[in-house]
Structure 1
Amino acid sequence: MAEIRAKNQLLKNLKGIHLWHAPMSSCSQRVRLVLAETKTIYESHVINIAKDEHATKSYQAIHPNGLVPAIIIDGRLFIESIDIIELLPDNDSDLLLHSDISLLKEADQAQMDLKLLSFEFLFKSGPQQIQEQFDKFQVTHKNEQLKQFRIDLSNGFGRERIEEAVARTHDHFQKLEDILSDGRQFLGGAVYSLSDVAWIPNFHRCNLMDWPFENTPYLTDWFNRVSERESFKIALLSWENKDVMKSLENYTSQGKVLGRDVRAFGTLTNF
């Protein structure tokens, strides 16, 4: 359980549930899915990643790694989305009882590849950072890994690194396809669980890139089912800005025309 000590006494004094999150953060989406499924009331604190609010001193006093999400439950501070989603349901909840811990761990391991692919094939559609903002982030943020990611993004990830991320992501999705091929409705079996929650944001994100999910029909049918749930609409769709989503769609279409979309890399060139 990723509980850490809150440094600020004001945080320790907070009652109820407080969530620091970002609309398009896949890790935040997981936590919001569980909050919606469990109908949990919480106070929302939105962190604007585009404006580098996660690099502020005040936010890094909450989450020492300057990442989202972070959640406080009656003064206790927790980070890491996979740990948080296991914490929120009741012990006898189907969300917990029917989940496969190995699938949760695998979703966690897939996060860095999802992030790289998201920035390469989607988020480049947004306004590019000016040098002043880039330099300020390098000074104010304390997470060395995140700062290096920004540098790599600015310099370009390189085809080999992108193709490796594509290959690993393809393998993850193929494993889920194989699991679902026995006719089960959800990843954990007959009942919706945290196994589904962990992977919904990944599918949704890659779907925005036009990942060739036509080659994984069982997985596609699974996503069609889970995306019909009210929690999906509450936790994901309601947080999506229409203008941003249109920009992502246009960027993906442009990439296809230029031959630099996700299907032009690694394993996916075979489809």
Structure 2
Amino acid sequence: MPILSTNDPAITSLKGIHVYHAGISNCSMRVRLALEEKGLKWVSHEINLGKQENIQPWYLAINPKGLVPAIVHDGVTVTESDDILAYLEEQFPQPALVPADPILAAQADMWFDLAVSMHIRAIKTWVYGSMHGATKKKSDMEHYADVQPDKELVAFHRKSLEGFSNADVEAARKMIAEAFDKMELRLANHDYLVGDAQSIADIAWLPQYIVLGTIGFDFTPYPAVRAWAKRQEQRPSYKPAITNWMPRVPGWALRIAIKLKRAFAGLKSVGQHAQTKT
């Protein structure tokens, strides 16, 4: 578990749970959901990723990788959403989000690990590829590459500047569809992904569903998943963890904007191809 050591009094002097997060970041959503499910009080520090606040010196002192979320609990810093959830479960075991039954616990870990493993190679690739959007400006990329030790992330952001191919986006879509096929099978006859109670499995996958749905992923083939998501929305944790941090732009308006951007990108590609031929 990456508990980071620091002598910075601005960090070590913090009392209570301080959460450094971004609104629609699925990893941030997981941590907020876990905190709310456990009924814990926390202090919000929202990080503006668009303004590159995550790679400013003050935040790199908290998380040298420049990633959200991170928490500081009574001066102790923990990073990475999976490790933060493990830390919260250890420090605040009730109500439990990891089943007591070892078989169910292993199943919950499997679902969580699957969500984490798909974050860059499937979820982020499909989202940014579908939006035809770069994750960073060219002017910011070199600085990001200098301060970001995670080479996979650097490679992903460089790729987003070049533009994801249709093959990249389709491969990501298929990977996502396969995961939701598995969820559909499970949820067709169960209220939760594991056992008969909320767990880290549900917390891992609800943010994926929200982010993908916001961008326009087609969940029509997954009625059981959609019903599960509706049940999740009724939980007391949903509003303070999710609704309060979502963009004020309605989902339908965002999807129209994305469709227009896709159409423009297609026209631009045709124009560039025509210029190349002439």
Shorter-chain TM-score above 0.5 = yes
Give a deviation string over 1:167-217, Cα, whole Å, max 9, x none: 211111111112223x11111122112211110000111112332212112
Answer yes or no: is 1:161 the counterpart of 2:163.
Answer: no
Q: What's 1:267 paired with?
A: none
Answer yes or no: is 1:102 the counterpart of 2:110.
Answer: yes
| Distance in 2, Cα, partners of 1:132 & 1:257 | 26
| Distance in 1, Cα, partners of 2:59 & 2:196 | 40
| Distance in 1, Cα, partners of 2:136 & 2:110 | 38
| Distance in 2, Cα, partners of 1:158 & 1:7 | 45
1:103 counterpart letter in structure 2 = W
1:115 counterpart letter in structure 2 = K
Aligned length: 257
Q: What's 1:213 paired with?
A: 219
Sequence identity, in percent? 27
| Distance in 2, Cα, partners of 1:223 & 1:137 | 35
Q: What's 2:184 paired with?
A: 177
| Distance in 2, Cα, partners of 1:37 & 1:194 | 10
Q: What's 2:202 paired with?
A: 196
| Distance in 2, Cα, partners of 1:102 & 1:252 | 33
2:172 counterpart letter in structure 1 = A
Q: What's 1:67 paired with?
A: 67
1:121–1:248 CA distance, 2 compared to 1 (3 A): farther
Q: Of 246, 254, 261, which aligns to 2:260?
A: 254
Give a deviation string over 1:112-164, Cα, whole Å, max 9, x none: 1212222222483x9x8654344544455554433332221111122222222
For the 8 Å contact 2:132–2:262, the answer to whether it is kept is: no
Structure 1 unaligned runs (5+)? 261-271
Q: Between 164-173 and 20-29, report the one with greater CA deviation.
A: 164-173
Q: How much does 1:57 deviate?
A: 1.8
Q: What's 1:233 paired with?
A: 239
DSSP 3-state at the match of 1:71: strand
| Distance in 2, Cα, partners of 1:34 & 1:56 | 27
Structure 2 unaligned runs (5+)? 267-278
Answer yes or no: is 1:48 the counterpart of 2:57.
Answer: no
For the 8 Å contact 1:96–1:194, the answer to whether it is kept is: yes
| Distance in 1, Cα, partners of 2:128 & 2:263 | 19
1:258–1:57 CA distance, 2 compared to 1 (3 A): closer
For the pair shown, the structure with the greater C-alpha radius of gyration is 2
1:223–1:258 CA distance, 2 compared to 1 (3 A): farther
Q: How much does 1:71 deviate?
A: 0.5
What value does the CA root-mean-square deviation take over the aligned residues?
Answer: 2.6
For the 8 Å contact 1:17–1:71, the answer to whether it is kept is: yes
For the 8 Å contact 1:7–1:62, the answer to whether it is kept is: no
DSSP 3-state at the match of 1:88: helix
Tell me which of the two structures has the higher relative contact order, counting C-alpha pairs closer than 8 angstroms and 6 or more residues apart.
1
